[in-house]
Amino acid sequence: EPEVTQTPSHQVTQMGQEVILRCVPISNHLYFYWYRQILGQKVEFLVSFYNNEISEKSEIFDDQFSVERPDGSNFTLKIRSTKLEDSAMYFCASSERAGGRTDTQYFGPGTRLTVL
């Protein structure tokens, strides 16, 4: 069964460094998402992406964050200058249709980011 994959599974970085989290969505999916979950807190929406542009973003997704689909298979989340509070599990997701409130989002296993 097709699935969303994410690399790396765990990334450790120093405060102020740039990190890129990578995701490979399901191949025929059109919509891509990033979420994060700080330890002990809710899963929070960051951004959705369709047709090579951001569709929606939350207040969390400030200028420190960016997303890109550099080729036909990868979808990346970049954090330019990491802060301690960026430490979290980051989930990538994708959905088949062109957005919509009832679409099923398929999630990857997550990347645990630890900022020291």
Partner 1 sequence: AQSVTQLGSHVSVSEGALVLLRCNYSSSVPPYLFWYVQYPNQGLQLLLKYTSAATLVKGINGFEAEFKKSETSFHLTKPSAHMSDAAEYFCAVSEGQAGTALIFGKGTTLSVSS
Q: Which spans of this chain sit near partner 1 (rule: CB under 8 A)?
A: 3-4, 31, 33, 35, 41-45, 48, 50, 55-56, 58, 91, 93, 99-110
Q: Is the dihedral of CA 8, 9, 14, 15 positive or negative?
A: positive
- Of residues 2 and 14, the one with the C-beta less far from partner 1: 2
Shortest distance, position 82 Cβ to partner 1, whole Å:
23
Shortest distance, position 16 Cβ to partner 1, whole Å:
29
Q: Could you tell me if 74 and 67 are in contact, meaning their C-beta atoms sit under 8 angstroms apart?
A: no
- Of residues 14 and 28, the one with the C-beta less far from partner 1: 28
Shortest distance, position 38 Cβ to partner 1, whole Å:
12
Shortest distance, position 56 Cβ to partner 1, whole Å:
5
- Of residues 73 and 81, the one with the C-beta less far from partner 1: 73
